[in-house]
Every structure is written in structure tokens, then in C-alpha cells.
Amino acid sequence: MLKKVAKHLEVVFNELTDINYLDRQNLTIKKTVLQLFDYIYEGFELLSDSSKWKFGYKVELALDNNLSDRVKKFFDILKSVEKLFEYKFLNYLGDFDGYTQQTIDHFLNTTIYNIPFKSNLEFLHDNVLKTQSRNSANIFYVYLKELEHNANVGNGCGSGPISRKIFNLYKKTLIGTIKGYTMLILGHSFARLKFDGGELKNLQYEYLKQYKELIDSVSKSALQILNLLEFEHQLFVNCDPIWKEGQNYIRVKNYVSNTRRTFKINGQGFELNNGNFQEFECNSHLVHLNSDSLFVYSMRCPDVFNTNSRLYENCLNFPENKEILSTNHSSWPSKCLYLDDVPSLSSSCFCDKQSDPELSIRKLSLRPLYTNTSINEVLTGIRFAVENNVIIIQIQKGQIKNGTIDSKTKEWKSADDYPLKEIPDMVTLDYDVKSFNLDDIKLPFGEFLTGVKLQLLKDNHISLAVRGTAMYNSYSQGPSDNHHWYSPETLYNEKRENIPLEDFRNSAELSLQNKELSQSGRNYVDLTVGIHSHKFKNIPVLPFFDSQDLTSDVPSGGLGLHLKGYPNKKP
């Protein structure tokens, strides 16, 4: 769209430059020039109102940390050019005949007669020429490399994918070029109307030639860099928050419990759990007490993910897995208390019996979630959540209207909002089912993300799958009902490599920005018992599930399941 505007302006500039201004009092000539001024003014006014267009006219550049002085100067010049254009030039252009010669004089002294202004346009020109070598890299290549460096050292998070930043720079540069040279070329028309100015015609032709070259260079240079972009450049990276269980991460955990009535316990010191200290665990027993002197005592038991209890005869002869009956004890007052006069829970833990359904979080939903494509709904957000102690996926969906997502139609949906169509509905995480394949799934060109699910594979690995939909049929008559579920492709002939986490500390203790540790199609990760946390007094099962909202204002073309952490940060 902007490229078409630039080319159309070129035609108008040619017409303005060709006009004979020597007879400035000729009403026909003056009327023609002023009509062209009005035409350009109305065009920019229309463009300014098009912020909701599919391609977007309003563009804000993300000023990431650690950008070079060269890139910052380029950004500053674009900003200053746009400010001068919006707040001064458009006023003169819209009512040129109403301004005095003194006022126009002042404007000309800040533009066509102003050396810093023309130097700024030359700086833009020199920095967008097509890259011939690393030593003559243009601004797009330099910006790309600096964004890559920032991403590698943990900066640049939360400000969008690199591909979007490069494309925004292209649009912003095109806008700045159009506005800068519009002021320069029309400034000479101003001068030629107000003064004799015949000698300015050659200069005007020279700047028109520069304008043509620059528009062509901006497009070619940006395309050269856009062709270098890989899939990882399209990924959005969230900034890490202060990690807090229940707010932005989910921790897999397992407790074994038993009940007692006859045991006498002093009721002092028991407190209601308001969720403020979910990270903390008892080194001894966690005891819940109700008003009827019934108490439930529990013990953390993360070892179920490390120990294959089926190999031990005692576990084979252990009574069938009998989960403690639901007593709603998680809402009772509780405290840490060492009990030595109750049956031990060690065997129940070792053999993975009597898992407490109210305290444990080790069930994972496999139910698919999807949008209603008959009304042009696409997936606009996703997050992990916990419902009834089951880890689930929740999706945000929204409708596409006029090429963009209508924010008023966005809403979050949970697994319970969808009928059960596939079996099993969920899986219990344990020694046998604890592996997660780590993959990116990129949809074919023209398809949008409209569904997601987790699936249990034959090797007991859990894998991501997504649904893609071409939102319009081949005749462009409306929404398509042609959906496809996509699973990760196998990119490597060798077996997947596990990313070991045995020596990693509790992820919530890290204050550094996490980095992606996995490679799509190559890695998987097991639920693993980590190192005892002195800060939280817990023994974490790693990795955690990031439960932050991941949303987009544009339709998505893929999804990934990644492992993030900070390499070499071990106790």
C-alpha cells in the first residue's frame, strides 16, 4: 500500500516540477498548483486516518536496549522528519494561499535552505542502500544483527518478534522517505510560487531523482534482509516476570496422604492456606485439621517420576492404587508437623499409591480446543492453567473482520467448554508418562491457527498438535471448513535427545532472563526431580509450566512447545 502511495506521489511531483512558475500571477497556473497541493494534502489526511487498515499505517518502532548509535540516530531522524511533517508542513500545504510570505520564508529556512535537514535526508539515503558486503551493511542488516545479539543475551523480550520489527522499520523508513522528500520537493514549489525561483527548478528535479532512487532502494534493501529471516525470527519472546506459583507458573507435584481420627493433636498454630505460599513445602508432614478432630496427614512425594515401582516385588503386592477419599481437606487449616505415631507413608510414596487428588497436580488434559471457523474465528491466545487439579490448555479466540481481529470478540475458553470427542480425556503423569517433545509447528502458507491439543504418542511421549484452517475457500466466498491437524515433523534421523535437568535448581529462584534451551524436532524433556530449594523449602519437579497469557493481535501461523531456562545455572 505505502509503495503504491510513493509511486503515485512521484507522478504528482513530476507534474508539479514541470509547471512553468515564471508567470506566477497567471491564475490558471496558480490554481493548478494549489489544486495539486490540495490533492496531496487530502491524500495524506486519508492515509493518516487509515490506522485500522489491514496493512497498518501507524507504526511504532521498538527501541530495544543496546542498540548502536547508528541505529538510534536513524530512528531519531525518522521521528524528527515525521514530527516536522505532521505539525508544520501539513498546515502550510492545506492552506498555502492563506500564509504570508514571511511565514513561508520561515518554513523554507527550516527545510530546503536548512543544511541539517538536508543532511538528515542524506543520512537516510546512505543507510538504506542495498548491502553489498558486511562493511557496507545497510540499516536493515545492522538492525537485524543487533536484534539477534540482543535476543542471544536475553534482551529484546516482550517487544515482538524480530521479523515484525524489521518489517516495521521498512514501513517506517518508507513513510519517513515519503514525508521527508515531499517537504523537500514541495518546498521548492513553495519557493517558486512566492519568488522568482526559476533557478530552483533544476534542484527540484535533482531531489525528485533522489526520491525515486531512495524509494527503490528502501524496498530492495528491506526485501534483501526479509529474505534472510528464519523461523526463529518470527517467534515472540515474553519477558520473565517475578515467578510466583499460581500466578504465572504451574508446578507438577505429588503428595501421598492418609486420614486419622483417634490421634490427639494440639490445634494451635493451624492456619488457612490462602495461596500466598504455594511454593513452600513441609520437610516433615503437612497436617490438615477439621473441627471434628479428623485430620489428614500428607507427605510430598516427587520420586514417582524417578522410580519405576513396577520393578519391585513389594510394590507389585501392594494394594491397588486407592486415592484418598475426597474430604475437601485442602480448605482446612494446616501446618507442618512431624508425626511419629502414624502409619508411614513411605511405601505409598515409593510404590505410587494413595496419591492425594486435592494436593497433587499431575493430571494433564488431552482434550482438543478449537475455534468456530464458520464465523471467522481464529486462535488469538493460549495459556496453561489448572482446573480441579488438572493441567489444561485454555485458548483465546477472536473473529477476523476486514482483515484484522476484532478485539471486542476476543474471549478465553477452557477445556470444559468443549465436548469430549477423543479418548483418553486426560493422562496421569508418572514414571511411564513424563516426557514432552519440544517442537515448533509452522502451518502451510495461507492457513491460520484455529485449534490446539496435547496428544499421547505410542512411545508415551506427550506432543503438541495444532489445527490449521484456510479461512477462505478457493472461490473467496467465505470461511473454509477444510481443517487439518498438524503434528511436528521429524527433522533429524537420530533419536531425540533428552535435556537433563537433574542438577538444575528451582526455576522460580532465577532472576535472569530465561533462554530457549531446546531445538525443535531434536529434543524432549522428562519431568525430573530437581535440587532441594533452600529458599522455598521444596523439592521441585522440573520443568514448570509457564501459565502466562501468550496473545496476538494478528492471526497466528504456528505454535511451539519449548523448554526455557538459564544454561549452566546450577547450585
Secondary structure (DSSP) of 68-117? -HHHHHHHHHHHHHHHHIIIIIHHHHHTGGGS-HHHHHHHHHHTTT-HHH
Instruction: Give me the count of residues in the chain.
Output: 571
Distance CA 343, CA 110 (A): 88
Higher pLDDT, 398 or 331: 398
Considering the entire predicted model, what is its pTM? 0.69
To which residue does cell 506521489 refer?
9
What is the pLDDT at residue 499? Answer: 93
What is the pLDDT at residue 347? Answer: 87
**Of 528, 535, 479, residue with least CA distance to 499:** 528
Distance CA 451, CA 437 (A): 18
Band (18; pLDDT cuts 50, 70, 90): confident
| Helix or strand (DSSP H, E) at 490 | none
DSSP per-residue codes, 518-539: --TTTEEEE-EE-PPPTTT---
Rounded to the nearest angstrom, the gap between the alpha carbon of residue 363 and the centroid of all alpha carbons in its chain is 27
What is the pLDDT at residue 136? Answer: 66
Q: State yes or no: cis peptide before 543, omega within 30 of 0.
A: yes
Q: Considering the chain, what percentage of its residues have pLDDT values greater than 90?
A: 23
* Digit-coded pLDDT (tens) for 68-107: 899 999 999 999 998 888 888 888 777 777 777 788 788 8
* 228 neighbors 55 (Cβ within 8 angstroms): no
Query: Which three cell numbers, joined as nine digits, stand for 292?
Result: 471434628
Residue 127 burial (10 A CB sphere; 0-12, 13-18, 19+): buried
| Domain assignments of the chain as residue spans, ordered by start | 2-234, 254-350, 363-565
To which residue does cell 515472540 refer?
236
Q: Tell whether the model's pLDDT for residue 54 goes beyond 50.
A: no
* Digit-coded pLDDT (tens) for 146-193: 888 877 766 667 777 888 888 888 888 888 888 888 888 888 887 777
Winning range, highest mean pLDDT, from 38-42, 209-213, 449-453: 449-453
Distance CA 62, CA 168 (A): 9
* 297 neighbors 346 (Cβ within 8 angstroms): no
To which residue does cell 512521484 refer?
10
Q: What share of the chain is helix, strand, coil (3-state, %, to 5)?
A: 35, 20, 45
Mean pLDDT of the chain: 81
Q: Considering the chain, what percentage of its residues have pLDDT values greater than 70?
A: 81
Higher pLDDT, 356 or 513: 356
125: helix, strand or coil: helix
Non-local CB neighbours of 83 within 8 Å, separated by 6+ positions:
none
Winning range, highest mean pLDDT, from 20-29, 210-219, 487-496: 210-219
Distance CA 547, CA 534 (A): 24
Q: Tell whether the model's pLDDT for residue 345 goes beyond 50.
A: yes
Q: Which amino acid is at 272?
A: L
